[in-house]
Amino acid sequence: MGIGDAEGLAQHKWHVREEVRRRRASMGSDERLRARDALTDRLISLVRDRGASSVSCYASLPDEPDTSAFLEWARDNGVAVLLPVSLPGTRLAWTRSDGSPLVPGRHGILEPSGEQLPASAAAALDLMLIPACAVDLRGTRLGWGLGYFDRCLSELDRRPPLFAVVHEADVLPALPAEPHDIPVDGAVTPDAVRLFPR
């Protein structure tokens, strides 16, 4: 990939991220509540259909698809959840979600404050639900540019099924892919659970 190609790729990703930020920021409170409830139903269905007893998830930021009700359901129904903790060097650790208060971590993202498990703990999960800016119909996932999840996923000796959690409008026909990008197996939106061909 030449310098011009790299610049074009970076610019394309920047435009997609800006469009997604704009679209998510424009959602009204009623629309957000409806999306949260519908997304929760989809996530529960996926976990039940897969027979998953352990998953990763994340505490969503205000403009992200809202995972809060799903996290409550998982806790009340005996599904073990690991939440990510951001470490220096754009590395992830995991902490068990036990309902205790979350605290702001690096980048202002809410994280659990309990015992940290290594990134490799994700290899033992039944399912991984991960944040994304957007995904395409081939399973290419676009994150927010820091590389935490791609780095973590690339180092797992076993990779559980990966599902990006996005809004339906964030599922795009095609996104630019780079060699280090880890594709996802599907996406969960308020409208559907999508599976991507492998």
Examine the pLDDT at 1 and tell me if it is beyond 50. no
Q: Determine if the pTM surpasses 0.85.
A: yes
Q: Which residues pair with 80 in a beta bridge?
A: 54
Which pLDDT score is estimated for 186? 98
pLDDT computed for residue 103 by the predictor: 87
Distance of alpha carbon 103 from alpha carbon 110, whole angstroms: 5
Ordered DSSP codes for the chain: --HHHHHHHHHHHHHHHHHHHHHHHT--HHHHHHHHHHHHHHHHHHHHHHT-SEEE--PPPTTS---HHHHHHHHHTT-EEEEEEEETTTEEEEEE--SPPPEE-GGG-EE--S--B-GGGGGG-SEEEEE-SEEETT--EE--SS-HHHHHHHT-SS---EEEE--GGGEES-----TTPPPPSEEE-SS-EEE---
pLDDT score of 65 = 97
Average pLDDT over residues 9-29: 94
Looking only at the bridges linking them, the beta strands covering 162-165 and 193-195 are unpaired
Encoding tokens for residue 24? 């998510």
Token duo for residue 117? 């498990």
pLDDT tens-place string over residues 103-143: 888 888 888 888 999 999 999 999 999 999 999 999 999 99
The predicted-structure confidence for 25-62, as pLDDT tens digits, reads as follows 999 999 999 999 999 999 999 999 999 999 999 999 88
Which residue would you say has higher pLDDT here, 1 or 155?
155
What are phi and psi for residue 194, nearest 5 degrees?
Answer: -105, 140
The pLDDT of residue 101 is: 84
How confident is the model over 155-183, as pLDDT tens digits? Answer: 999 999 999 999 999 999 999 888 878 99
Chain centroid to CA 137: 16
Structure confidence at residue 179 (pLDDT): 81
Q: How far apart are CA 48 and CA 50, in angstroms?
A: 5
The pLDDT, as a whole number, for residue 4 is 52
| pLDDT given at position 3 | 44
Residue 153 has which token pair?
């996923």
